[in-house]
Structure formats: C-alpha cells, structure tokens
A and B are shown apart, each in its own frame.
Chain A
Amino acid sequence: MAARTLLWWLVPIAGLAELGGHFHVSRRAPGLADWQAARPAVEALRRPGEPLLVAPRWAEPVARHVLGDARFPLEEVARADESRFEAALEVSLLGESAPEIASWPVLEERRAGKLLLRRRKNPAPRPALQDLVGRVPDATVVDVVGGVERPCPWDAHARREAGGLHGDQAYPAARHACPGAGAWHFVGVTVIEDEQWRPRRCIWAHPAQGVLRIHFPDVPLGAALTGHAGLPQWYERERRGAPIQLRFSIDGAEVGSVTHKDGDGWAAFELPTPGRAGQRGALDVSISAPRAQQRQLCFEVATR
C-alpha cells in the first residue's frame, strides 16, 4: 500500500481516536459511588473549623450531597474568604487544585479512588476575634431619616421571602425589620452571589432614604476591622446604582469608611483600629446611598 494511501487512513483513525477519547473522558470524573467510597477517608482527614474545598468547584454539589450539612456548614461554604482558617481540606479530582488555597503547604495527602485529599495549612492565618455576622441578632438597628431615628425591631418570625431568579436574595425569618419602605428594608443574615457567582454569607443592609445604622454592643477589639462588601451580582453587573457608603465607628469615634461602587464586586476592606487591641467597645456601622434604588448591599465585618 502506498504511503499516500496510508496517510488517508489517518482520517478514519481520527474517528477511532475520538471514540477512544469519548470512553476516556466519560469515565474520568468520579461518579456517585466513587464519592461514597471516599467518604470515610474525607471524614478521617477533616477537622472541625477547617473548610472543605472541592476542586474543580463544579463538583461541590456532589460532595455536599454525599457528605451532608455536617461537613459543609453554611458559614464555611459561603465564607467571606479563606484568610481566617488555619487549614483547609481540599478534595481534588481530575488533577485540579482549588486556586484559593493552591499555594498553601500540604500537611497530609491521601488518595481515595479518583479523589485526592489534601489537608493544607494556611501559611498566614488571620483568625477573627469576633465575626459580626454572628452578632446580628443582638445588634440594634435604626433607620435615620431627616435626623429622626426610627427603630428596626428584631423580629424572629418575619415573613420569609425568596425572589427566585429575578428577585432578591432570601429574606430570613429572623431579622431587624425597618418600617415603611418595604420588606427588603431590613438587616439580617443572608447569602448573596458575588461577581463570580460564589456564595457569600453576609449582613443584608439595603439602605432606604436615610442612613441605616447597625449598633453592635460590647465587641472584642483587635488591631483592625476587616471585611467585605458587595451587591448580588445580579444587580452589581448592571452598574447603574449609586455608590454606597459604609461608615464604621467605635464608641462614637469614626474609624473609617468604605465606599462600594457597582463593579467593585465582593471587595475586601481593612480599617486599622490603633490602640484598641484587647479592649471592648461598641461598633456602629452606618450605611447610606444618595439614591437607594436597588442598593442590595451585603457586608461582613470582623475584628482581628
């Protein structure tokens, strides 16, 4: 057979190669049985307080299904970032790593079938002294309009809402409900999607016409206030809203302010609190926007 004829065989052979490729790629990723078989190994490696990251992230729903809520507390799944954790467990498939922790040194590594488990140590953890998201129930909230303070009382049984695709985030039953403007005008804990559509657990604080002020009493203080602020990507991406200002003060003295503009995304901030480390104080967060339409601000703040 002539060499040229042999070359033509490359075309049907390409078809054969695609068939081989199909069998290869369709069996590469772990199925449900693989995940279930890996469960004991995951349980053995995971430590409380260390988040579990699945790489690639698209496989996380399977992990949540198999491992359950106990291994995926909401505050870890919808964490603000990874900085506060001492370590994390990475469940890797298809040779991928979670980009957030890929540079962390590996403490332990174990293969469980098609899954590779790596416990990684945060080289520079910054644990929170106090995560203020957890303090929302004992905060005091007022809406200040024209110099008049209108209380937003705590309601543990408010009407829940979840707007679906075109609506707002879930309005929790337990929230500080502000009177007048609408159900959206409250302070409470929810989860928003950031600019990469990742979940972020945060304090919903949609300002209305005035200034929404949240008062956290008796907060253990450190060297700084750190946090993130953002809008749900659904609104943030429109880039049509007014800037939102968050002013932070401790015991009445302003510590600093953050201005969130559409397009900033889930943006980190840090405000030094010099001379306050080891003390306790009252933290006030005042949120306002010149135009309050679609200002679904959500933020988290911690003392460190």
Chain B
Amino acid sequence: MSRTARALRAAQDPLIALACFTGTLALLIHTSGDLGYARDEGFYFRAAADYQRWFELLFRDPSAAITKAAVDRHWRANHEHPALVKSLFALSYKFLHQDLGLVREGGLAYRLPGMAFSALGVSVTYLWGARAVSRLGGLVAALLLLMQPQVFYHSHLACFDMAVLTMWLVTTYAYARTLEGGGVGWVLLTGLLYGLELDTKHNAWLLPPALVVHWAVTRVPPLLRAELAGGRLRPPAALFAMALLGPPVFLALWPWLWFDTASRFLGYARFHLHHDYYNMEFLGTTYFRPPMPRAYAWVMTAATVPTIALLLAALGGLRSLRELPTRARLDAAGAERGALARAFSTRCLWLLCIGTSYAPWLRTSTPIFGGTKHWITAYSFLCLFAAVGFDWVARRLAEGLSPRLRRLRVAELCAAALVVAAPIATTLHSHPFGLSAYVPLFGGQPGGASLGLNRSFWGYTTGSLLPALNERAPSRAAVYLHDTAQDAWDRTSRDGRARKDLRGTLSIVDSRAALYHHEQHMQKVEYQLWMEYGTVAPEAVALFDGVPVAWLYVRPGQTRR
C-alpha cells in the first residue's frame, strides 16, 4: 500500500467526521429560516449584546475591561448561566454579521455557534461509534442523534442544550482516550474540555461522579487482578486534570466570577439547586409544583425518540451484557482480552453517562419544565449503544448471505438504510414543530395531543404564524406576543422576518393582533383574548399534522385584506 493510500485510509474517519460536521451545519443553516426565535434565545440575545460590548471594550482598552465596574456592567445579564456559549454568540454576531457581513441575518449569526456545537456533537458521535463499534455503526449513531425531532429542533438554537450535549460527549471521549493509553496530550485535553463544559451549562457538574463511578465499576475483580499484577491501580490521570484544569478554565472564561467569586458562585449554584417550577403538561395534567411525575423522563423519551433508535439501543445494551468481561470470557479471549476489557470500559462509561443524565429525574422534586432537553446529554450515548445494537444486527444478517453479497455489505447497508429511514422522515417532517412531535408509536402529533402531552413551549412557533401575521395584522398594530419574549420578537423584527410597522406588546388590552402559543395552562390567556377581542375565532392557525400548535387573533373588523 502506498504512503498516500495509507494516509487516506488513516484519514477516512476524520474525513467522514468532517463530512458529518459540515453536512449537519449546512442542514441546520438551511432550515433555520422558518424556525421562530425561542423565548430563551431572546434572553441570550440580550445577554450576548451586553457581552459583545464588553469584548469591544476589551479589544479597545483591556485594562478598562477587566475592572469590576466594567465586568459588573456587562456581565450581569443572565448571570445564572456560564458565559462560554453566550460569548460565542456575541463574537459570532460581531464578526460574522456586523464586521464581516458574512451572515446576513443577525439571528442566524447568534445561532451559528449553537449549530456548530450540534454539528460537532454529531461528528464526535460518529468518531466514537466508528472507533468503538464500526464505521457504519458510527454513521448510524450520528444520524440517529441528529434525526430526532427534539434534538433537531434544539440543534438550531442559540441556547446551551446541544452545546452541553456536545461538551459532555467530547470531554467523555477525550477521557476514554486517556484510558486507552492516549498519552498526556489527551489527559490535558480532557481537563481543558471539562473546564469548557463547566462554562457551558450546569449539567457539567454531574459528569465527575459518573467518571468516578466508572473507575470504580471497571475495577471488577477479573480486571482488578490484572491491574494489580501490573502495578497499575491508580485513579486515571484525567480525573486529576479535570479537577486541576476545569475550575480555572471555568473561572477564566466567565468574567462575572472574577469578583465576589464565592458569593456569585453560590448565587449561581442556588439558582439551579432551587430553580423555580414552571408549568408542564404531562398525560393531561399540568404540573406546577412537586411532586413531579416520576415516569416523566422515561415516558417522554419513549414518546419523542424514534422507536427504532431505542430498540437498537436496547439491543446494544443486551449485547453489552452478553459481552461482560467475566473471568471465563477473559481467559477464553486470549489476544482479544484487551479489546474485551476496553469494550466493557467504554460501554460502562456510556451507560453511566446515560444514567447520570437521567438521575435528577428520579427525584420528584426536580423540575420538568424543559421537557427532554433536561436530559439531552444522554442521547449521544443512547445512540452509541444503538450503534452497538446495529452492529450486532448487521453482523447476524450478513452471516446469512453468500460470501459475494457479504463482501458487498448488502445486508449491513440495507439494514442501515432501514433503521435510519423513519428517524430521517419523521424529523425532517417535524420541522419547524420539533417540540410538538411525537413518535408513531404514540400516535404521532394527534396521539400526543390526545394523550395530553405538551404541545410546545418557549413561544417559538411565532415563526410559523409570521406569514399570516405579516399578511393580516392591521397597519402599525401592537401585537400581543404571549409566550414569545420581547427580545425574541425584537430580533424577529430586526431580521426582517416580521413587518417593520408591527410592534410587540405584552398587553392584551393594548394589542390589535395577538399570538397564542398553546399549552394546557396557557388556555387562560386565550379566554382573556376571547373576552377582550370579542371573538373566539382565530384568524389563522399553525397546524402540524392537523394538530393546532399556535394561533393568531386579530380584533374583528381590523384584519388587513
């Protein structure tokens, strides 16, 4: 084999990962235009605008920027969440939109870092799947991750949920590489990545316990004996790197914590440990305070993650159980002993990451208002297990074919196409109603509505009503924004998505047109609109597979024709 051929062969996985990244990013950019700005995006746009002003001061006058007064002025906004991702929103907006003009729409510039995180998550899922399972398994895992309606929705946003999914994944991947003898580079990288993960979202604090448990669990007697014999029994160096590098990186990249560090950090911790409870419908009941339903996370996962992905993940779990490194198996493995132990370690790590991501929802006092995004960090690992399951199925299918067909990998390719077809179809079909989408097993969107599962939240479905609003709202009308945050509306307006003469308001009485984003508890707002507008007939309804998701009211007689 020539040197070029060898280099190309070695680069195959990175090249495929790069293709995953660029393909995902291109798809997200392409589909961003009709996805309305979510409520929380509005808060982060505002925070990013403040942070941008600080970065501009930093570039202009560094010593002035690092004073307490400057930091307090610019970093107070949204200080309940760390700064990394919002800083990237700010820098993307400044450079890509304002300075270079490469991105025409400001909202897209804000969203680009979030999309890049999502694309990175997909490509690292591929890389790890290809490394730990098989190339085709990795591809299946990557596709199964992106092609989940709720993941696809969150992948577009200028928010932190997909960012933390990715940071959790890449940190864990780097950690796993250190366990495979990756060297000091991987160790240092793990520490650095963990700092970045801490600075992404508070889910990051759950990772170290998972890793410590992993270290303990993988010291099962047969492996422990081998380690003791080799004199290698010590905690992984990467854990120390995370402890030593993580906090400094976290602090360094979050200027808000540079002053009054202890009290501000405690404030941040308190905010999340004692978070407000918001309303969330589950099986026809709106929960607004504890006890929250214990089945919530599991049922919502089953209702929103494509069933074939869950089936493959379950098979992956089963296969992993069958390949546990018992003493007998290790003895029989011979040269494959190391591979068996590595597979066990990797799958154990994945399982612990899934378990840790879901663990807070074993308590009935944990809020559920954000739906599946709360435990979204589990999904990449779920898809990696799906890769294990897929690989198992594909191997068994190939065994039944003739050698020629086996060489052509007919069975594997057919199986791959069949298992990703439904996720691709349902996810692309769900856009831009990803939060309203339920899997066919639950009856799809009509089934979800009949079961009393949340229709959507965050008021982002304003995007689906914009054509009707722009066409029919009276001139210079004040538009009641309902669940859309004022900052999200302002961005909608500035980006030219909404007519310039329309003004957002949070007063029903002052409005002449009104958006209504359906959730069970929001119906009280609709009844107020009936009384105030004197009509129960919406001017337009945004339907997803026949299910109304958001609707528009216009005061009778004021519709622009």
Residues 533-561 of B contacting A (Cβ, < 8 Å): 535-541, 543, 545-548, 551, 556
Q: Which residue of A lies closest to B279 (CB)?
A: A165
- A227 touches B (CB below 8 Å): no
| A24 cross-chain contacts in B, Cβ below 8 A | 440
Find B425's partner among A19, A32, A234 (CB 8 Å cutoff): A19
A31, A61, A72, A192 — most chain B CB neighbours (10 Å): A61
CA distance A193 to B521 in the complex (A): 9
A282: Cβ under 8 A from any B Cβ: no
Q: B522 to chain A: which residues have CB within 8 Å?
A: 165
Separation of A193 and B279 alpha carbons in the complex (Å): 15
Query: How far apart sit A74 and B533, CA to CA, in the bound complex (Å)?
Result: 12
B540→A65 contact, CB < 8 A: yes
- A56 neighbours in B (Cβ, 8 Å): 449-450
CA distance A12 to B439 in the complex (A): 17
Interface size class of A (residues with CB under 8 A): 35 or more
CB pair B528–A25 under 8 Å, yes or no, is: no
Among B444, B525, B535, the residue within 8 A (CB) of A22 is B444
A161 within 8 A of B: yes
B136-159 with Cβ < 8 A to chain A: none
Binds A, one of B96-104, B112-120, B395-403: B395-403
A255 within 8 A of B: no
Chain A residues with CB under 8 Å of B400's CB are 1-2, 5-6, 8
A76 to B, closest residue via Cβ: B536
Quick check: A19 and B450 within 8 Å, CB to CB?
Answer: no
Determine how close the nearest CB of chain B comes to the CB of A28; give it in whole angstroms. 6
Known: A21-B441, A58-B449. A164 touches B531 (CB 8 A): no
- List residues of chain B with CB within 8 A of the CB of A4: 396
Chain A positions 30-67 with a Cβ under 8 Å from a chain B Cβ: 30-32, 34, 56, 58-59, 61-62, 64-65, 67
- Give Cα distance in the complex from A83 to B528, angstroms: 25
Does A223 have its Cβ within 8 Å of any Cβ on chain B?
no
Bound together, the chains give a CA A26 to CA B437 distance in angstroms of: 10
CA distance A21 to B109 in the complex (A): 37
Task: Check if B440 sits within 8 Å of A22, measured CB to CB.
Answer: yes
Chain B 203-239 residues near chain A, CB threshold 8 A: none
Point out the residues of chain A lying under 8 angstroms from B537, CB to CB.
Answer: 64-65, 67-69, 72
Please determine whether B546 and A28 come into contact, CB atoms closer than 8 angstroms.
Answer: yes
- In the complex, residue of chain A having the shortest beta-carbon distance to the beta carbon of B548: A61
A154-202 residues with Cβ-Cβ distance < 8 A to B are 160-165, 169-170, 172, 190-193, 197-199
Known: A56-B450, A69-B536, A69-B537. A26 touches B551 (CB 8 A): no
How many Å from the CB of A8 to the closest CB on chain B?
4
Question: Are B307 and A18 closer than 8 Å at their CB atoms?
Answer: yes
Is B176's CB within 8 Å of the partner chain A? no
What is the chain A residue whose CB lies nearest that of B281? A197
Would A25 and B531 count as touching, CB distance under 8 A?
A: no
* Of the residues A9, A23, A170, contact of B527 by C-beta under 8 Å: A170
Contact A62 B548 (CB under 8 A): yes
CB–CB B444/A25 < 8 A = yes
Instruction: Count how many pairs of residues, one from A and one from B, have CB atoms less than 8 Å apart in the complex.
Output: 192
Contact of B307 with A14 in the complex, beta carbons under 8 Å: yes
Contact in complex: B523, A193 (CB < 8 Å) = yes
Contact check: which of B306, B419, B547 meets A29 at CB < 8 Å? Answer: B547
B15 within 8 A of A: no
Query: Within the assembled complex, what's the spacing in Å between the Cα atoms of A28 and B444?
Result: 9
Asked if A160 and B439 make an inter-chain contact with CB atoms under 8 angstroms apart, the answer reads: no
> Once the chains are docked, how many angstroms separate the CA of A226 from the CA of B520?
29
| Interface flag for B443 (CB, 8 Å) | yes
| Interface residue from B422, B441, B546 paired with A19 (Cβ < 8 Å) | B422
Partner pick for B538 among A25, A26, A61, CB 8 A cutoff: A61
B358 near A: Cβ within 8 Å? no
B445 within 8 A of A: yes
Centre residue among A164, A199, A233 by max chain B CB count within 10 A: A164
Q: Is B508 an interface residue (CB 8 A)?
A: yes
Taking the complex as formed, is B179 at the interface, i.e. its CB lies under 8 A from any CB of chain A?
no
Contact of B446 among A22, A25, A191 (CB under 8 A): A25
Stretch in contact with the other chain, from B17-25, B269-277, B308-316: B308-316
Contact partners of B419 in chain A: CB under 8 A:
11-12, 15
Contacts of B393 in A (CB 8 A): 8, 11-12
B426-450 to A contact mask, C-beta < 8 Å, 1/0: 1001000000000111011111011
Which residue of A is nearest B538, CB measured?
A: A65
Given A15-B421, A94-B446, A191 and B530 contact (CB-CB distance below 8 Å): yes
A102 adjacent to chain B (CB < 8 Å): no
Contact A164–B543 (Cβ < 8 Å): no
B447-A25 in contact (CB<8A): yes
**Cα–Cα distance between A19 and B307 once the two chains are bound (Å):** 10
Taken together as a complex, chains A and B put the C-alpha atoms of A255 and B24 apart, in Å, by: 71
**B364 interfacial by beta-carbon distance below 8 Å:** no
List, in ascending order, chain A residues with CB within 8 A of B425's CB: 19, 22-23
Which residues of B are found within 8 Å of A25, using beta-carbon distances? 440, 443-447, 545
Say whether A77 faces chain B, with CB atoms less than 8 Å apart: yes
Which one of A30, A65, A162 contacts B509 once the chains associate, using CB atoms below 8 Å?
A162
B315 to chain A: closest residue by CB? A11
Instruction: List the A side residues contacting B493 at CB < 8 Å.
Output: none
Would you call A170 and B429 a contact (CB within 8 A)?
A: no
Chain B min CB distance to A13 (Å): 7
Most chain-B Cβ atoms within 10 A of its Cβ — which of A74, A172, A197, A199?
A197
14 contacts between A and B (CB under 8 A): A4-B396, A15-B420, A15-B422, A16-B418, A18-B422, A22-B422, A59-B548, A61-B538, A160-B532, A170-B532, A193-B523, A197-B286, A197-B521, A237-B288
Q: A69-B535, A94-B446 are in contact. List 19 more A-B contacts (CB 8 A).
A: A4-B396, A5-B399, A6-B400, A11-B419, A15-B419, A16-B418, A16-B422, A18-B441, A21-B440, A21-B444, A26-B444, A26-B545, A28-B444, A28-B545, A32-B541, A69-B537, A77-B530, A165-B525, A170-B532
Chain A residues close to B by CB (< 8 Å): 1-2, 4-6, 8-9, 11-16, 18-19, 21-32, 34, 56, 58-59, 61-62, 64-65, 67-69, 72, 74, 77-78, 93-94, 96, 160-165, 169-170, 172, 190-193, 197-199, 232-234, 237
Closest 6 CB pairs of A and B: A29-B546, A21-B440, A25-B444, A5-B400, A170-B531, A12-B418
Binding site for A on B (CB under 8 A): 286, 288, 306-308, 311-312, 315, 389, 393, 396-397, 399-401, 414-415, 418-422, 425-426, 429, 439-441, 443-447, 449-450, 483, 506-509, 518, 520-525, 527-532, 535-541, 543, 545-548, 551, 556
